[in-house]
Structure 1
Amino acid sequence: METGYTAPEIFFLVTLGIISVLGIMGNGLVIWVAGFRMALTVTTLCYLNLALADFFFSATLPFFMVVLSMQAKWPYGPFLCKLLNIMADTNLFASVFLIAFIALDRCICVLHPVWAQNHRTLSLAKKVIIVPWILALLLNLPVLIFFTTETDENGDTHCHFNTNFWGNITEEEKLQRTVTSVAIIGINRFVIGFTLPMSIIAICYGLIAAKLRNKSMINCLNPMLYVFLGRDFRKKLIHSLPASLERALTEDSAPTNDTTTKSASPPTEAQLQEM
């Protein structure tokens, strides 16, 4: 019986540990700054939701690290089998959908500035921001339906696709239905969870680039990327990371909220970049 770990397994576990620690700390900092230090605007609401999705995804990684270290044995029971997998996948897809949502919001601000200035309200954003979460949850309904714990002939418990879902059928039919179901779920996830949001992001930033040509639009990006890609990153880091994040998230233009003054004059090019 093997008790050690191979080099790839060790590397993978260490990588997951680093991602988890950085994800929890980094996104926790963004949540603190965007949620407690700044006024709630459309932009901070988007970044706050993105940070929450990344934070909760990172928080599930230590549980799966334990499973990997136990050679895929599941020690948490059937309830957490469903819950942890739903949490991980829902927050992962929600993060992708929210990035696409932010790209779409930036695109509207640039291409239709007058409409955005008059209609891009905080109350509307609070309603629309629910859509990425609902889509992510719907995409993971198969996890809620099919995932469960099963005990093999050696007495080891595993959390995976329920092969007994269809009742008393032959092993060949069970295998065929399982393979078909996994393939359909995988294709749906790839198309809806990756191809669609990535296409939206590419199209939106392509339109923005065409509109503003060579102007910098780095502030649609993830707030952590904004900080780390800044030219004066070292100075900001030494000065104050929370203050840097706050500046990165702040809309220099007048906040768009429910009391936004209706204006017929379009914003200047500088304002468009800062929206």
Structure 2
Amino acid sequence: MNSTQEMETDYPDYYYNNNQDSIADPVTPSLTDRDSSYIYLAIINVIVFILGVAGNGLVIWIAGFKLRKSVNTTLYLSLAVSDFLFCSFLPFGVVKLVKDDWIFGLHMCKFTSFVMFLNMFSSIFLLVIISVDRCVVVMFPVWAQNKRSVKKASVIVVLAWIISAVCGSPSVFIREVTFLQEKNVCYNNYPEGSQSVIVSFRFIVGFLVPFLIIISCYLFIILKLKINQSANSKKPFKIMTALIVTFFICWLPFHIFALMELNNYKNKSILQTGQVLGAIFATANSCMNPFLYAFMGKDFKRKCSAIISKIENAIEDEGRSTIRATSITTSGEKRHSTAV
């Protein structure tokens, strides 16, 4: 087998890149270190699975069935679906960790990896859409009030999912299963010269460019609201800000260590540890959003027990308060309705 046939022998195969030099020459840690890593990762995956499925399921129920349909609920519902889908596949990684063997076959090897990158691309694309939507509401409030609609938002969301599926599709073609050292291994079998293209594409399209767009939207929003002296002017964007910052913190290590591996970083121990931490942070991101919805609202200390109500308010009020704050900054314009 050639040197491009790299694999993961020590950590959850389906949700992370490579941490070995070659499938023919795996670097296996000591039994104690390996077992310790397995235990920690399995526990983290179980926790994220429970919190992610329960939390995102609650958001889906509230945004999809309890709240009236709006642009805002459509976007946050789609984000919750993305995270729920990813968390639903975490048990495959837990079983792999416990058994130290990939028992689910080739198709699930490909599909679980695809779901991970589908979640990554769809999450960041949806955050871009949310940021652009907020920027449009602030910069062109009259146009936004008249032209924004649930139907248009739904079309944009569907397009985002289609593009995300295309961007995540390389996993379907490079993931393979082989039998090595008396166990099945789900690994990345990169065609010659393709690893640098795939890793760079994921970083640029799935991280760098979206964040440049998001930062640009923020600059426009800040400039527009600068003349507004009201303390309420910053409130409409706190949940959006929290979601974006959380995504940035959780996914940046993943991309950093993927690029380090691509550039043949020499210290394999540091690289391996970093990749595991990157995987942990990336996985944890999928269970955090519901708690941001619940805990970023008003009077958390007084109403922390009313989590369902807080999630409803966070999702529904985000759009209403944006238009309310924007109307203050636009002199001579009519006061707009708070409906989104």
Q: Which amino acid aligns with 1:248?
A: A
1:25 aligns with 2:54: yes
1:40 aligns with 2:105: no
Write the distance in 2 (CA, Å) between the matches of 1:226 and 1:24: 15
1:161 aligns with 2:188: yes
Pairing partner for 2:240 from 211, 220, 225: 220
Q: 2:109 aligns to what?
A: 81
1:95 aligns with 2:123: yes
Contact 1:106–1:220, Cα closer than 8 Å, also in 2: no
Cα distance change of structure 1 residues 253 and 141 upon mapping to structure 2, 3 Å threshold: closer
Q: Is the partner of 2:177 in helix, strand or coil? A: strand
Q: Is the partner of 2:52 in helix, strand or coil? A: helix
Write the distance in 1 (CA, Å) between the matches of 2:239 and 2:31: 50
Give a deviation string over 1:15-62, Cα, whole Å, max 9, x none. Answer: 222222211111111101001101111100000000000111111222
Shift of 1:90: 0.5
Structure 2 gap ranges (5+):
1-29, 244-288, 324-331
1:230 aligns with 2:300: no
Q: Is the partner of 2:187 in helix, strand or coil? A: strand
**Normalised TM-score (structure 1):** 0.80
Shift of 1:148: 2.0
Shift of 1:111: 0.7
Q: 1:249 aligns to what?
A: 315
Q: Which amino acid aligns with 2:309?
A: A
Contact 1:218–1:226, Cα closer than 8 Å, also in 2: no
Q: Is the partner of 1:230 in helix, strand or coil? A: coil
Which shows bigger deviation, 244-253 or 202-211?
244-253
Q: Is the partner of 2:211 in helix, strand or coil? A: helix
Q: Is the partner of 1:250 in helix, strand or coil? A: helix
1:195 aligns with 2:208: yes
Q: Which amino acid aligns with 1:160?
A: Y
Cα distance change of structure 1 residues 186 and 30 upon mapping to structure 2, 3 Å threshold: same
Cα distance change of structure 1 residues 210 and 227 upon mapping to structure 2, 3 Å threshold: farther
Contact 1:150–1:158, Cα closer than 8 Å, also in 2: yes
User: How much identity, in percent, do the aligned residues show?
Assistant: 32
Write the distance in 2 (CA, Å) between the matches of 1:208 and 1:67: 46
Q: Matches of residues 67-78 of structure 1 in structure 2 within 5 Å?
A: 67-71=96-100, 73-78=101-106
Contact 1:81–1:149, Cα closer than 8 Å, also in 2: yes
Shift of 1:253: 4.2
Cα distance change of structure 1 residues 231 and 247 upon mapping to structure 2, 3 Å threshold: closer
Shift of 1:9: 3.9
1:151 aligns with 2:190: no
Shift of 1:80: 0.8
Q: How many residues align?
A: 247
Cα distance change of structure 1 residues 50 and 117 upon mapping to structure 2, 3 Å threshold: same
Shift of 1:158: 1.2
Contact 1:16–1:65, Cα closer than 8 Å, also in 2: yes
Pairing partner for 2:161 from 129, 133, 150: 133
Contact 1:107–1:205, Cα closer than 8 Å, also in 2: yes
Cα distance change of structure 1 residues 185 and 123 upon mapping to structure 2, 3 Å threshold: same
Give a deviation string over 1:94-138, Cα, whole Å, max 9, x none. Answer: 111111111111111111111111111111111111122122111
Write the distance in 2 (CA, Å) between the matches of 1:53 and 1:97: 11
State the superposition RMSD in angstroms.
2.7
Q: Is the partner of 1:129 in helix, strand or coil? A: helix
Contact 1:219–1:226, Cα closer than 8 Å, also in 2: yes
Write the distance in 2 (CA, Å) between the matches of 1:234 and 1:137: 40
Give a deviation string over 1:223-252, Cα, whole Å, max 9, x none. Answer: 6324313351132222x2112211112247
